[in-house]
Structure 1
């Protein structure tokens, strides 16, 4: 009997903690990979408007059969208009954030995008507090830690955007370039530095919009927990809205002709692993764990982006990025500590009124069993 209870607790811990944790890390790897491929494709001439439209189109076409195969026949809520309006808003905001993010990466780099993504936990926590999805007790150490962490995250992002600094780690070069190449490289770096702040601001706006989307998706999942169909509908909305916008902005018809090169690879990868896989995983995580938990994994993308940028794009690491990232990570872990303490406190408080807990505590003194039985 005791072994059966321990196995049940172990499975509950695996399904509610290990699987979401692994899935969120996988999503961050997929997102950084998409950003790196997109940056490499833009250096080969890919228009980001073409990238945005085709990415949404690929995910929508893949989700169409999946929504019928795996979508359960769960009834819609009695009041359907608020649900459809929220899905429409998610599609619209998703399109805006995608365009802002692609343009921001075009101006800067995937590494900066990953660094600025550390603002997502701060933005999400602030919005969750405003909409009463997170508890705020100003006198408690948990709330103070979360507020301090949010402030540090924003401060670190500002350091990265406003202060670039000297190079700490330059890309390796195995051949000496000729003088004309050096001159061209100097001109490119000068142009790159002048657009650094613009790219940072665009990326910051992208991750603020993503935080708003997390809040909206959480509400949608509470009313209609059909993950595949919800993701399909807002991808369809984004595809339909992006068509006129992108075709108007990119009027050169030759840009819309795709060839089997890195541009096609970037579009297919983004459509499958970002617009489809990442969207489904985030929607599932929002339903299971809430918006703050999902947003806390954004800072992990920094190390992934730095490695991929150095290997595939030849990006250099600057002092401002290092200082800002350290501040961001410190703020990130401060928020995590506060969130963990709050969850632990709530779990123990709820256990005081549970007779089932007292029985199992008498049999097993492990804190893991105590904590999971209270969930």
Structure 2
């Protein structure tokens, strides 16, 4: 029993560490991306190259990691589901990248908390999350999700006094040819686009959670997601950027951004994300979104010279309180489930498909 308990906590620690590392990687991605577009990188070109690099990176890994895993055959229906997954992912990233180009990585990370609230509501509708209105844990989850939305709205709609001025005014550029009418307009437009992207992201989380249980092969799933994402991003990119010169990436921060996004952000990051959805569900993965806020704030102010407003600090505090309230509700609910008969629940570590084949031997040592 002690050995089983030790393996259980090691498994939980591994999942927790992977989710935290994923959020750090996402913050790094958004920060480098913002720096790259200040150098003239077009986001249409960026997305097409990102998906292409991710698909090329994941193809050999998908063939090797699942060669001994019995999987459902690739049918037309299955490929159609892969395409829907790619379409949702492409739409989500398109809206988020566009929103970050108009705003900042700090706002991008803060608005990610809408993903938590939306995912929580959708998980209830799809019966992936329990909700009992008379239960204290369910009330805590509702309050936490509501505070996340409120905090995100504060960040978008209220700037307040500037606490830290920008180091370089040239960093706040427009990604279109027309001149923006001021920073406030950029802030609201960027926040709106980021909010829409996170709503689509929540739908993508739910669909992927259902799909990864039907087809438990994270590397293959993310490969096809990247492949179909590329098939959508390429014609869109050519339509908006028909000139060949726009597709030539100089060997500077722009090339670093594309490679980092393709290999780390989409390739490795999305595999970890799919694995987390598989073993813990969509709400657990979304719980870690608030951790990106302090990381993005520090990175944006130090490396990009972003302004820091009072509204961003206030909204971040509200979001953090909502995060811990929702986390407390989740932990209390899991403690109740642990006291229930073993037949009513099972440990996530019992799964042995996909990415689990790689990490499970580490837990058994």
Task: Indicate whether the TM-score tops 0.5.
Answer: yes
Distance 2:180 2:245 in 1: 29
Q: Within 5 A, what are the aligned runs for 1:49-68?
A: 49-68=44-63
2:91 paired residue among 96, 99, 107 = 96
Q: Secondary structure at the match of 1:168?
A: strand
Does the alignment pair 1:148 with 2:140? no
Distance 2:180 2:244 in 1: 30
Note the C-alpha offset of 1:204: 0.7
* Equivalenced residues, count: 338
Contact 1:160 1:325 in 2 (8 A): yes
Q: Within 5 A, what are the aligned runs for 1:136-215?
A: 136-171=131-166, 191-215=182-206
Moved over 6 A (4+): none
Note the C-alpha offset of 1:120: 1.4
Q: Secondary structure at the match of 1:272?
A: helix
Note the C-alpha offset of 1:86: 2.6
Superposition CA RMSD, Å: 2.2
Contact 1:107 1:192 in 2 (8 A): no
TM-score by length of structure 2 reads 0.88
Does the alignment pair 1:301 with 2:292? yes
**Deviations 1:212-246 (CA, angstroms, capped at 9, x unpaired):** 11111111111110111111111101111111011
Note the C-alpha offset of 1:189: 9.7
Note the C-alpha offset of 1:325: 1.0
Does the alignment pair 1:348 with 2:344? no
1:12 paired residue among 8, 13, 22 = 8
Quick check: which has more Rg, 1 or 2? 1
Distance 1:247 1:192 in 2: 30
Q: 1:78 to 1:60 in 2, by over 3 A?
A: closer
Note the C-alpha offset of 1:79: 9.8
Deviates more, 1:6-15 or 1:294-303: 6-15
Contact 2:144 2:321 in 1 (8 A): yes
Aligned match of 2:350: none
Distance 1:65 1:317 in 2: 43
Note the C-alpha offset of 1:171: 4.5
Contact 1:156 1:324 in 2 (8 A): yes
Aligned match of 2:361: none
Note the C-alpha offset of 1:12: 2.3
**Deviations 1:31-69 (CA, angstroms, capped at 9, x unpaired):** 111111111111111101111110111101111111112
Contact 1:120 1:296 in 2 (8 A): no
2:120 paired residue among 125, 140, 150 = 125
Aligned match of 1:233: 224
Q: 1:39 to 1:148 in 2, by over 3 A?
A: same
Q: Secondary structure at the match of 1:195?
A: helix
Task: Give ranges in structure 1 of 5+ residues lacking alignment.
Answer: 355-375
Q: Secondary structure at the match of 2:163?
A: strand
Contact 2:167 2:306 in 1 (8 A): no
1:247 paired residue among 238, 250, 257 = 238
TM-score by length of structure 1 reads 0.85
